Chain A
Amino acid sequence: MSEYIGHDHNGTTVGQVEKQFFTFAGKEDPFLLESGAEIHPVTLAYETCGILNEDRSNAVLILHALSGDSHVAGYYTPEDPKPGWWDIMVGPGKGIDTDRYFVICTNILGSCMGSTGPASVNPKTGIPYGTDFPLITIGDMVRAQKMLMDHLGIQKLLAVVGGSVGGMQVLEWCVRYPDNVASAVALATTCRHSALAIAFNEVARQSIMADPNWCSGHYYGKAKPGMGLAIARMIGHITYLSDESMRLKFGRRLQNKSALSFEFGAEFQVESYLQYQGRKFIERFDANSFLYITKAADYFDLAREHGKGSLVKAFSKCRARFLVVSYTSDWLYPTYQSREMVKAMKKNNLDVSFCEIQAQWGHDAFLLPNDKLDHLMKGFLNRVAHESAPV
C-alpha cells in the first residue's frame, strides 16, 4: 500500500511520531491462539497521535491492511521523505481529526513491522520462528489489539476504522467486543473471502513457497525468497487495481521505447510498474509474514466463526453504529459483499450507514485522496462523538 504515500498538499500533519512497543504474555501466561497453539512473549508495535481526553472517550483505533504498519500518519524524523500510510486522512482538521480524536494504530500480530511474527526469535530455540510460527487468525490479531487497549486504559473505543484486511479486523472487533466499540467504519472489505480472493492469495503464496530461497520458511540469516515475494506482490497489486485504472494509468504504452524489441524484458509500462512494486516490496516486507497474513484473511469467516454459519446471528452480538463503504471498481471485495454485511446488520436493527463511492481506482481507492470519504468520515465520527459525549 505504500506506493500512494504522499505528504498532504496543504502541509498539515500530526508532526513527528514515535514507534512504541507493548509486550505481553510470558512463559506462565502465554497467548493462546485460535488454532490451539500458544506463543510468548507477544509484542505489538503501535503509534499514537492526538491527545486522549480525560474521560478516555475520544480514542479511534485504526487497523491497517495486509502490508501496512503502525505508521499511520506524520513522520519519524524531520528529514523523513515519506509520512505514514494514511497521512491524507489522519491529522489536524482531516477526515480523522487529531485535534479532536486520539488515534492509535497498531501493527498486526504476524507482521514484520515491529510486531511478533514469523521473523521474531522463538524463545524455545533462540532463532527466528520461520514456519514454526503458528498460524494466526483475524480473531487472534484483534484479541492482541484488545490487550493493547487494556494496557492503554481505553475501555471503550469511540471508533474502530479500517479498510480491506483492516476492515475484517473492524468487523471482528464489533462482534467480539460489542461493549468496547461505540462505532465502526468498514471500508472496501468483506465478511469472508470469495473464491476469487482466496485463489489470488494462494497463487501469491505458491510463488513464495516455490522460490528456492524459501527453504520451508527457514531462510533467516540466508538469502531471502525475494523473487517469490516480488511475484506475490505483483499478483496482489493487480487485484488492488481494476481494468479501468490500469487502462487509464498504463494502457498499452511502452516503457522508455517507441517500438517492440521482441525480448522478455519489461516492455510495457504496466510490466515495468509491477516489477518496480515487487522489488520495492522485498526491501520492506517479510515473505513469511505475507504467507501468514494472507492465510488469516482467507480463514476469516465472520458467519462461521461467530454465527454458526449465519451472518445475521453473528451481527446480533453487535451494538456499534456502522459506516460501511464500498467502491464501484473494487473487484477484490465488490459492493455485493458490503451489501451482504449491511443486510445482516439491518436485520439486527443495527444503526448502519452505507455508501458505494464511484471510483475508478479499484480496491485501493480508500488509500487515495478522496473528498467524499473525508466528508463521510468526518460527519460520521462527529455524530458518534456528539452522541457519546457525557450529557
Chain B
Amino acid sequence: MNPLRYDLQIIASWIAPAAKVLELGCGEGDLLLWLRQNRQVKERGIEIKESKVVKCIEKGISVLQGDINTEIMDYPDQAFDFAICSQTLQQVYDPVFLIQSMLRVADQCVVSFPNFGHYKTRIQLMFTGCAPVTKELPYEWYDTPNIRVLSLRDFENFTRQAGFRILKKAAINTKNHQMEGKIVTFLPNLSATYGIFLIGHQ
C-alpha cells in the first residue's frame, strides 16, 4: 500500500482507534482505507466524482456519490465520532453551515486547507501582480474549483467569530510530492503550506 500523504498522516494520528469516521470529499478513499486497516475505524465517504467513487468501492470503502453539502444532511445527529473535510473547505460555498453540519453528525471534525498566507503566495502576488498559482493551489483564476482562499490566520479568526472551538491545530510544510513534511512552529502563517484543525463544540 502506498504511504499516506503527509497531511493525511497528521489527520490520521488524531483519529481514535475503532472510531466512526465520515470523510467529506474522500477522493479515491486513501485516508479511509488507511484508517480502516490501521485504526479499525468504521468508515463512510462522500465523493462527487463517479470515477473516484468507483475506485473507493473497488477498495471496499463505503462511499456515497453526491454533493457533500447536501449528502451530510441525511445522517442522524452524532452518528460519527469524527467528520473530516480534507482540502475541500476552500471549495465550499457556505463553510459555516458545513462545519455546523459536521459537528451535528460528529463529535469532532477535522478541516484542512492550503495556506494562502504562505510566503511564496505573497511574493508571487507582490512581484507579478497576478493571482498566485502554487503547488498547493495549482489553478488559474478562471478554472479553479477553489472559491475561497484563506490563510491560517483567516481561519482562526473565522472559528472565533463563528463560535467553533479549536481543539488541536497543525501547520505543516510538505515536500517531495507531499509525501514528506514537517510541523511548522516558527511563523506558521508565513511558512506553512497547509493548516489542519481539529474542531469541537464550544
Binding site for B on A (CB under 8 A): 321, 323, 339, 342-343, 346-347, 349, 351-358, 372, 375-376, 378-380, 382-383, 386
Cβ-based interface call for B63 (8 A): yes
Q: Mark B61-91, 1 if CB is under 8 A from A, else 0.
A: 1111110000000111001000000000000
Interface-central residue, A351, A353, A372, A382, by most chain B CB under 10 Å: A353
Q: Is the interface of B mostly helix, strand, loop or mixed?
A: mixed
Cβ-based interface call for B58 (8 A): yes
Which B residue sits closest to A323, measured CB to CB? B57
Contacts of A378 in B (CB 8 A): 58
B62 to A321, Cβ gap below 8 A?
yes
Cβ-based interface call for B122 (8 A): no
Task: Quote the shortest CB–CB distance from B193 to chain A (angstroms).
Answer: 33
Complex Cα distance A342/B53, Å?
Answer: 15
Cβ-based interface call for B60 (8 A): yes
Given known contacts A352-B62, A355-B65, A386-B60, A375 and B54 CB-to-CB distance under 8 angstroms:
yes
Which B residue sits closest to A328, measured CB to CB? B50
Complex Cα distance A375/B75, Å?
Answer: 27
Interface-central residue, A339, A355, A357, A382, by most chain B CB under 10 Å: A355
Task: Quote the shortest CB–CB distance from A260 to chain B (angstroms).
Answer: 42
Cβ-based interface call for B59 (8 A): yes
Complex Cα distance A192/B61, Å?
Answer: 28
B74 to A343, Cβ gap below 8 A?
yes
Which B residue sits closest to A345, measured CB to CB? B74
Interface-central residue, B54, B57, B79, by most chain A CB under 10 Å: B57
Which B residue sits closest to A354, measured CB to CB? B64
Contacts of A379 in B (CB 8 A): 57-60
Interface size class of B (residues with CB under 8 A): 20 to 34
Given known contacts A353-B64, A356-B65, A357-B50, A376 and B76 CB-to-CB distance under 8 angstroms:
no
Complex Cα distance A386/B62, Å?
Answer: 14
Contacts of A376 in B (CB 8 A): 54, 57-58
Task: Quote the shortest CB–CB distance from B106 to chain A (angstroms).
Answer: 13
Complex Cα distance A243/B75, Å?
Answer: 35
A347 to B74, Cβ gap below 8 A?
yes
Complex Cα distance A354/B56, Å?
Answer: 11
**Given A346-B75, A379-B60, 14 additional A-B pairs, CB 8 A:** A323-B57, A343-B74, A346-B64, A349-B75, A351-B44, A351-B62, A353-B56, A353-B57, A354-B63, A355-B65, A356-B50, A375-B54, A375-B57, A376-B57
Partner of A380, one of B60, B65, B76: B60
Partner of A352, one of B60, B64, B76, B79: B64
Complex Cα distance A380/B59, Å?
Answer: 8
Given known contacts A347-B76, A352-B62, A356-B65, A380 and B57 CB-to-CB distance under 8 angstroms:
yes
Complex Cα distance A358/B48, Å?
Answer: 13
Given known contacts A343-B74, A349-B76, A354 and B65 CB-to-CB distance under 8 angstroms:
yes
B54 to A355, Cβ gap below 8 A?
yes
Complex Cα distance A122/B64, Å?
Answer: 48
Task: Quote the shortest CB–CB distance from B66 to chain A (angstroms).
Answer: 7
Contacts of B79 in A (CB 8 A): 349
Task: Quote the shortest CB–CB distance from B114 to chain A (angstroms).
Answer: 29
